[in-house]
Amino acid sequence: MGGVGACPGIDHAQGLSPRSARVSTQPSGGTSMLRDLVWGDVQVIHTTDIHGWYQGHQKSSYPEPNYSGDWGDFASFVHHMRKLAKKKGVDLLLVDSGDLHDGAGLSDGFPAGQVDGHVSNQFHARIRYDLLAPGNHELYKYENAYDTYKNFVPTAKGRYVASNVNLTVPDAQGRNVSVPMADRYIKFKTSQGRKVTSLGILFDFTGYDKGINVQPPKEMIKEAWFSKAIKEQPDFFLLSGHMPVRGDGSDWQAVVDAIRVVHPAVPILILGGHTHIRDCTQYDGRSMGLESGRYLETIGWASMNLSDHHHHHHNRHQQDEALEAGRNISFSRSYIDANRRNYAYHAGLMNEKKLDTGKGKKITHDMAKVAKSWNLTEVYGNTPQDYYLSRVPSNDSSSLIHLLTQSVLPTVISTANPERKGVANIVLANSGSQRFDIYSGPFTKNDKYIVSPFTDAFQYIKDVPLKYAQQIVSSLNGDEQAQASSRRKREERAEEDRELFRGGHVQHIFKQWQKDQYENEENKTAAQLDLEELDARAESKKTSLGYVTTDRCPGGPGDDTVHTAIPYFSVPDYVVSPVSGNTTALGPDDKIDVVFLDFIASNVIRILNRLQTERVYSVDDVAAYASPSLTTQEIYPEYAKVAWN
Ligand SMILES: Nc1ccn([C@@H]2O[C@H](COP(=O)(O)O)[C@@H](O)[C@H]2O)c(=O)n1
């Protein structure tokens, strides 16, 4: 990595000028906070886990301005970088690793009758990619998978690769047949004439819908087609896949090992995804794997220098390869904050106004048109302050969980069921239903898909004695201390985590990453900084908040912008509102309504039966709380209409 420093080509004052109505605040710091990209003979620009965030992050509270670049800005960036690569006479490839939809308005806020992700996929397709692969979110519902297969894969013009995913589709005679979702592998030549073999591998995912099949990667590498695909020696392997580059649930090492049996020294570049973190590792001295975050916050950059050891026009024999296997390749990686200032800087442009291309501007314009016609810009109310998912403790007045339990749930539930008006209640929710911070300013329809995207309905059990109702949440959360102190329990937990992962769940991994960043920073603060520096950091913290990545790749820090880690406080898995109404009038045996999300109903029933033996609760005791049903997606719009207007 290059050191932290100003780019000679950048006019700093202009580089910081506000650009659009979308975000009035600029990314943190100046360009002096930026680290240069390192170019090699071959580089990759990488996106993964976009989850519908094509319009970029639109709020002005930090760190959001760091990620304020939208898909149009990214298109312009790619254009300039491709031009730069051509000028330098090197290769630049664009790779995506799946999970294109589920998570923001442009994918999920579609009108009735359409398919989730269909329109946002069309925006994705407006940038030409060199390699794409499916994620698990493409496969939860058959209609999404089929729409991807039918309408998105063809737009990739032979560059969408699905090595271990099959769909069952009707053939020409109308008979159902299981077919690969796209090519199992592809071979192509780069613009500089390098021969590439590519795969697109999904992790061992088990949560797919009927009509879909995913083969575990460790099985896939035993297939005859796989041996055939890797037999011929390319100049390098370029692998994309929705699978973390290392750790639990990562089978990349097995894939690398399988290739190494045949090609001990051919460079392998892997672009992974799924856990939403920034990460990088090397499997050996001639391979590297990069994971590039989530939600169009991070653009990954990977580069390698092949020319030192290997001229691509030569035909290599296995003997030469074996010789080369002992020699390392120099790789470099960066995690680019997705904003116009950083795009312009890395593209060597004078300022961010120079970034725009006609095509980029048109994409931005067309997305705004869709957002308007889908009412994504509709404002339900004006949020008076920021509310954080995990930046403050969950009993803090700026905590989203505090807002949820103390204000939002009591408010929306109080009017949801006129028949239960006046009956005291508590409302239980799983904190995992809450997905993102709420920032001060307009709370829009787009935000509802971001903050509380699920459509879980509120249900209730009536007439639960207060003394039992009040114990449910702590029982649900369990005694963590007891768990942690027991080795057997820890192993059970690891097994549970593995199963969660195979089902597609990753929240726990992302949270752990956030926690590690904060703890690393706190330790550094205590051990390495004097008081004066601490003061300066406290001041700069407000504007430089962001990811502080530590990975396993050489070359110094990988984040392209110097940041201070965002504080992290863990939130209990289950949370509850206070008992509604006049609680002083209630005794322990008085009966109240226990309201909860259908997503957690079976757990609530199980816990109630553990807490008391007076009766046996079952699903027959559960009823919908509101008619028409109230879902988690609607709670903030409902609350905003009442409290933020
Ligand atoms: N209908 C649903 C589905 C999921 N959740 C919450 O999401 C968590 C899983 O998140 P991943 O990113 O790990 O897939 C799950 O544990 C639930 O808390 C939900 O609330 N409603």
d(CA 99, CA 76): 22
Closest CA to 612 of 425, 467, 477: 467
Torsion of CA 82, 86, 90, 92, to 10 degrees: 10
CA distance 301 to 95: 10
Alpha-carbon span 165 to 199, nearest angstrom: 12
Give the pTM: 0.92
Q: Measuring from atom 13 of ligand 1, which residue has the nearest CA?
A: 505
Classify 80 in phi/psi space as left (phi over 0), alpha (psi -120 to 50) or beta. alpha
Distance (Å) from CA 547 to ligand 1 centroid: 23
Residue pLDDT, tens place only, 126-163: 999 999 999 999 999 999 999 999 999 999 999 999 99
Q: Average of pLDDT values for 349-359?
A: 96
Kindly give the number of the ligand 1 atom that is closest to the alpha carbon of 456.
1
Q: Which of 454, 509, 603 to mutate to test the pocket of ligand 1 (most atoms within 8 A of CB)?
A: 454
Q: Which atom of ligand 1 is nearest to the CA of 435?
A: 7
183 CA from centroid of ligand 1 (Å): 31
Considering the chain, what is the average pLDDT of its residues? 91
442-469 as b/e: b if 16+ CB within 10 A: bbbbbbbbbbbbeebbbbbbbebbbebb
Instruction: Indicate which residue's Cα is closest to atom 2 of ligand 1.
Output: 454
How large is the ipTM? Answer: 0.98
Residues in Cβ contact with 84 at an 8 Å cutoff, skipping those fewer than 6 apart = 92, 347, 348
Q: Is the pLDDT of residue 510 over 70?
A: yes
pLDDT at 79: 98
- Per-residue pLDDT, averaged over 68-73, amounts to 98
Q: What is the pLDDT of residue 263?
A: 98
Q: What is the CA(500)–ligand 1 centre distance, in A?
A: 10
Residue 506 CB less than 6 A away from ligand 1: yes
Q: Helix, strand, or coil here: 340? A: helix
Average pLDDT for 528-550: 71
Q: In angstroms, rounded to a whole number, what is the distance separating the alpha carbons of residues 469 and 608?
A: 8
* Ligand 1 lined by 598 (C-beta under 6 Å): no
CA of 465 to the centre of ligand 1 (A): 29
Distance from residue 486's CA to the centre of ligand 1 (Å): 27
Note the pLDDT of residue 3: 39
Kindly give the number of the ligand 1 atom that is closest to the alpha carbon of 573. 18
What is the 599 CA–ligand 1 centroid distance (Å)?
9
Whether 456 lines ligand 1, by a CB cut-off of 6 Å, is: yes
User: Could you give the CA distance from residue 175 to residue 191 in angstroms, rounded to a whole number?
Assistant: 41
pLDDT at 343 over 70: yes
Q: Does 140 contact ligand 1 (Cβ within 6 A)?
A: no
| pLDDT more than 90, % of the chain | 83
The pLDDT, as a whole number, for residue 626 is 96
Protein residue whose Cα sits closest to atom 17 of ligand 1: 432
Compute, in angstroms, the gap from residue 590 CA to the centroid of ligand 1. 33
Residue 168 has pLDDT above 70, yes or no: yes
pLDDT, tens only, 284-324: 999 999 999 999 999 999 999 998 654 444 556 767 887 78
Return the ligand 1 atom nearest residue 433 CA.
20
Cα separation, 135 vs 27, in Å, equals 29
Tens of pLDDT along 226-244?
999 999 999 999 999 999 9
Atom 7 in ligand 1: which residue has the minimum CA distance?
432
**Sole residue written with tokens 């391979």:** 287
The residue-averaged pLDDT of 469-498 equals 71
pLDDT at residue 487 greater than cutoff 80: no
Read off the pLDDT of residues 489-499 as tens digits, 9 standing for 90 and up: 567 778 878 88
Measure 533 CA to ligand 1 centroid, in angstroms.
Answer: 40
pLDDT in tens, 594-644: 999 999 999 999 999 999 999 999 999 999 999 999 999 999 999 999 999
Answer whether residue 108 shows pLDDT above 80.
Answer: yes
Please name the residue whose Cα sits nearest to atom 9 of ligand 1. Answer: 505
Residue 7 pLDDT: 38
454 CB within 6 A, ligand 1? yes
- pLDDT at residue 490 in the model: 61
Atom of ligand 1 nearest to the CA of 507: 13
pLDDT-derived band of residue 30, with 50, 70 and 90 as boundaries? confident
